[in-house]
Amino acid sequence: MTRQNKPVDVVLVGLGWTSSIMGMEMTEAGLEVLALERGKDQNTVPDFAYPQMADELTYGVRYKLMSAPADSTVTVRHSSQDVAVPYRQLGSFLPGNGVGGAGTHWNGHTWRPMPEELRLRSYVEEKFGADIIPEDMTIQDFGVSYEELEPHFDFFEKILGVSGTAGNIKGEIQPGGNIFEGPRQAPFPLPPLQRTLNDTVFENAAKIKGFHPFPLPAANASEAYKNPYGMQLGPCNYCGFCERYGCINNSKASPQTCVLGALKQRKNFSYRTGCEVIKINKDSSGKKATGVTYIDPNGDEVFQPANLVIVGSYAYHNVRLLLLSEIGKPYDPVSNTGVVGRNYAYQMVGGATLFFKDKNFNPFIGAGGNATVIDDFGTNQIDFKKEGFIGGSYIFAAMTNGQPIRNMPLPSGTPSWGADWKKAVKANYGHTMTIGTHGSNMSYRDCYLSLDPTYKDKHGLPMLSMTFNWKENDIRMTQFMKKQIEGIVEVMKPDHVDYSFKDFGSEYDVRPYQTTHNVGGAVMGTDPATSVLNRYLQSWDVHNVFVMGSSAFPQNIQYNPTGLVGALTYWSAKAIREKYLPNPGPLVQV
Amino acid sequence: MMNIKKTLNNSRRKFLKEATIAISVVAMAPNLVIPTLAQPLDIDLGEYKPSYFSANEWAFILAATDRLIPADATGPGALDTNVPVFIDKQMQGRFGNALDWYMQPPFLSAKPEMGYQSSLTPAQTYRQGIKATEDYCHQTYQKSFAELSDSEKDMVLSQLQLGEIQFSDLSSMQFFSFLLQNTKEGYFADPIHSGNKNLASWKMIGFPGARASFKEWVAYPNVEYPLGPVSIEGERG
Ligand SMILES: Cc1cc2nc3c(=O)[nH]c(=O)nc-3n(C[C@H](O)[C@H](O)[C@H](O)COP(=O)(O)OP(=O)(O)OC[C@H]3O[C@@H](n4cnc5c(N)ncnc54)[C@H](O)[C@@H]3O)c2cc1C
Ligand code: SF4
């Protein structure tokens, strides 16, 4: 039997970055807010305390902080002709779990998109003509502009304490920063992290080639810092255990270090852990949510009434919850109708590994966001018509997480075991660096999310299914980036170099880690026929449901998503506070 | 006391005692895997009694890991660093039993790009894989794996790796891939997991282990880091 709780004003699904921000905004508006998080509570002390955090096997290799597939996973297939099979072991992407979500074990690369990326279809049509967009490519505009989001990027960067060098302040180009970025109102709150040998070597080569290197904006505090919520960050000590780990040092921005300490002080905020939301309930009209149903730690079903449901359970979990709750019409790729699940996209990455006998990189010394970047091949810098693809990448040299089980690149041709393997390990550990590309991924008619017909989760509910594969456009883009890197590597003159870029015919592979930058499926936009949410991240169909996170991206930007995810959350919060609360109902009429 | 090595001097013994206290406090935090110190970390491989592997299986594990990472002038091998002990312990934990993986049927065959689709846990894969490999060695060489010459052992391991030996009930490549992955893990992981004895692999490559504090050292590019490794329990190398 379903138990019923006392009603609240706002229920937040999940407690990662998006819900933590919403918690601040909604409590500030005077509302009573409850967050339901399926995972456990976790804090810097005792959960991330030194020395047990410095354990590569437990956290880096066995994924102790991530969501275990035994608890929750998806099924995957390359095309709708295939039978989807479960993502049984983590590999390609590593979803978060527990208070703080993936924001506890991210790296901290913090980007704003290029203004053109938020209006990608319009940009391409205006500049190159609609005919260069392949017929099955379903790219769209976000429906919100860079200028509208700018104050929210700025505030989110101040919450995170981002370390970096600005490239464009109010239209004035700043040498040493990213000269291709959109104008920002203020510099980054902290100066960049210290440079390591790898990025100095890369920076010199990039400059020789005429490119414009700059330090990657990092949510790893370069100095002691107090954010606008009064939360205190300590200077990063380049501990080397960053991505996949909780920060031992209160240096990496996480919901815990930047938001939750302040939020938990508020009397009108509470949260419950071990509570997995399985449905958003609706009233008889189907146009209004009445609250959510969750499974509590005892396995009991509980109904939590709420006036406002804000979903922040991570990109593809958001989509599944909408499908399970029958909110919005499910997408059907055959008839090309419906919206929920439409425009799932991922990220196109590639890289080169360079070996230098005479260089000692000390790869174990590094922060999550410790990198030098060039954006000379960003989305707004490429002639799509001439090059034959749509998209772009930033190119970066990073030194991070140099632990020996996972981070042991050896020159191609080295045996994988035996005496010669060991000799190569001894000769090469500490003498390699990488140059990577982190690129956009377009959306397509046949890449989408749906409910799986066969596989169920531990509650007996259908799992989410991903239908996804690489497309020619995106392979062309990554091959173009490879050429640019080859030019830089030529200047650097390593003793040996290996390239790893997807080639024509490569299929999506769930085994190697790529990024946890899954996007789309509940996209925002201006037309309810092609989007699930309006430009304020409000459901077109059920007006008191708002959905946060990268599920709103209609295709993937070339950057890591969280800067945009955070800014969109503040943008939506402002709309809720200023427009929705005084006058509840659809914020956009069509 | 057995197995007293030079490393286990008084201060280390005292440290281990304190570490045991500290760790028992930490272990109360829910969901943290801190292996118990029921067996001291200074395990002597010759005296170790495996708890997952049978005597015959253990002979295979010792012989196979010794070929995957042999001891030589370059540095210590898998046996010097207690890699077999690490693997035995992994078999009994979350990894060996695939507790974190989605292991519900139906198990369909799929392209390799779709990842792990076997119904067997790693521990089951080892059990069946060792048996199938031993059967193969007896048929082909009339010997057990451990009795083969080094070059014969290497040949068999390569054939497993390339899938050239076919087993009826499991993939030889999958079996080999667990074996190789776990061997390297036991070699490089923190000794808290019972491998990497005396931090020997870290010393060989110059990895400082659990130091995790380099605020000063980040400013010395291209200078070899001067300090030896430490482990989570405070052992120094
Ligand atoms: C290893 C790794 C590295 C990354 N590095 C970067 C980086 O450098 N830069 C960058 O921009 N981004 C990075 N990311 C991505 C970044 O972490 C995410 O963009 C961000 O955390 C998304 O925030 P969110 O609030 O949408 O979701 P999450 O942080 O995933 O939070 C969602 C929360 O909801 C909970 N939840 C899910 N389903 C339910 C349910 N049904 N009921 C209740 N609770 C539920 C989850 O347990 C989780 O705690 C990285 C991610 C990973 C995994
Ligand atoms: S590298 Fe810096 S930010 Fe990352 S975990 Fe270590 S101290 Fe924290």
- The nearest CA of chain B is from the CA of A468 a distance in Å of 11
Crossing angle between the packed helical segments B172-188 and B122-141, to the nearest 10 degrees:
110
The mean predicted confidence, pLDDT, of chain B is 86
Contacts A51 to B, Cβ<8 Å: 210, 212, 232, 234
Q: pLDDT digits over B211-230, tens only?
A: 999 999 998 888 899 999 99
Would the pLDDT of A366 be above 60?
Answer: yes
* Site of tokens 């501990």: A239
Q: Report pLDDT for A1.
A: 61
Would the pLDDT of A181 be above 50?
Answer: yes
Is A69 part of the contact surface with chain B (CB cutoff 8 Å)?
yes
| CA-A237 nearest atom, ligand 2 | 7
Amino acid identity at B167? F
CATH superfamily of the domain spanning A3-580: FAD/NAD(P)-binding domain (3.50.50.60)
Q: Is the CB of A243 under 6 A from ligand 1?
A: yes
Q: pLDDT digits over A197-237, tens only?
A: 999 999 999 999 999 999 999 999 999 999 999 999 999 99
* Site of tokens 């390339």: B162
Strand A289-295 versus strand A276-282 pairing type: antiparallel
Confidence of residue A2 (pLDDT cuts 50, 70, 90): confident
Q: Evaluate whether A164 touches A221 at the Cβ level (below 8 Å).
A: no
Contact A508 B94 (CB under 8 A): no
Q: Report pLDDT for A590.
A: 87
Q: Which residue has a Cα nearest atom 4 of ligand 2?
A: A242
How far apart are alpha carbons B181 and B190 in whole angstroms?
15
Q: Report pLDDT for A369.
A: 95
Would the pLDDT of B27 be above 80?
Answer: no
Average pLDDT estimate for B84-92: 98
Q: pLDDT digits over A47-56, tens only?
A: 999 999 999 9
Q: Evaluate whether A356 touches A431 at the Cβ level (below 8 Å).
A: yes
How far apart are alpha carbons A376 and A558 in whole angstroms?
12
Confidence of residue B10 (pLDDT cuts 50, 70, 90): very low
* Site of tokens 């998109």: A113
Is A7 part of the contact surface with chain B (CB cutoff 8 Å)?
no
Q: DSSP 3-state assignment of A330?
A: strand
Strand A301-311 versus strand A232-233 pairing type: unpaired
Confidence of residue B98 (pLDDT cuts 50, 70, 90): very high
Confidence of residue B36 (pLDDT cuts 50, 70, 90): very low
Contact A55 B204 (CB under 8 A): no
How far apart are alpha carbons B127 and B56 in whole angstroms?
11
Q: Report pLDDT for B41.
A: 64
Burial class (CB in 10 A: 0-12, 13-18, 19+), A301: middle
Amino acid identity at A131? D
Confidence of residue A179 (pLDDT cuts 50, 70, 90): very high
How far apart are alpha carbons A128 and A131 in whole angstroms?
8
Q: pLDDT digits over A252-270, tens only?
A: 999 999 999 999 999 999 9
Q: pLDDT digits over A285-294, tens only?
A: 999 999 999 9
| CA-A97 nearest atom, ligand 1 | 47
Contacts A57 to B, Cβ<8 Å: 185, 189-190, 193
Strand A289-295 versus strand A301-311 pairing type: antiparallel
Is B53 part of the contact surface with chain A (CB cutoff 8 Å)?
no
Strand A348-355 versus strand A432-439 pairing type: antiparallel
Q: Number of C-alpha atoms within 13 angstroms, CB side, residue A465?
A: 21
Confidence of residue B63 (pLDDT cuts 50, 70, 90): very high
How far apart are alpha carbons B155 and B170 in whole angstroms?
20
| CA-A36 nearest atom, ligand 1 | 43
Would the pLDDT of A302 be above 80?
Answer: yes
The mean predicted confidence, pLDDT, of chain A is 97
Cα-Cα-Cα-Cα dihedral of A154, A157, A159, A161, to 10°? -140
ipTM, two decimals, is 0.96
Contact A362 B224 (CB under 8 A): yes
Q: pLDDT digits over A139-149, tens only?
A: 999 999 999 99
Select the residue of A40, A54, A69 nearest B232 (Cβ to Cβ): A54
Query: Which residues of A are catalytically annotated?
Result: 517
Confidence of residue A177 (pLDDT cuts 50, 70, 90): very high
Element (H, E) at B185: helix B172-188
Q: Which residue has a Cα nearest atom 2 of ligand 2?
A: A236
Q: What is the DSSP letter of A439?
A: E
| Closest by CA position to A358, among listed A412, A430, A420 | A430
Contacts A85 to B, Cβ<8 Å: 108, 110, 114, 117
Q: Report pLDDT for A350.
A: 98
Q: pLDDT digits over B127-185, tens only?
A: 999 999 999 999 999 999 999 999 999 999 999 999 999 998 899 999 999 999 999 99
Would the pLDDT of B29 be above 70?
Answer: no
Strand A448-456 versus strand A462-467 pairing type: antiparallel
Average pLDDT estimate for B18-44: 45
Contact A89 B101 (CB under 8 A): yes
Q: pLDDT digits over A71-85, tens only?
A: 999 999 999 999 999
Q: pLDDT digits over A515-543, tens only?
A: 999 999 999 999 999 999 999 999 999 99
Q: pLDDT digits over A340-361, tens only?
A: 999 999 999 999 999 999 999 9
Cα-Cα-Cα-Cα dihedral of A517, A521, A524, A529, to 10°? 160
pTM of the shown model? 0.95
Contact B208 A510 (CB under 8 A): no
Residues present in chain A in total: 590
Is A462 part of the contact surface with chain B (CB cutoff 8 Å)?
no
Would the pLDDT of A487 be above 70?
Answer: yes
Domain boundaries, chain A: 3-580
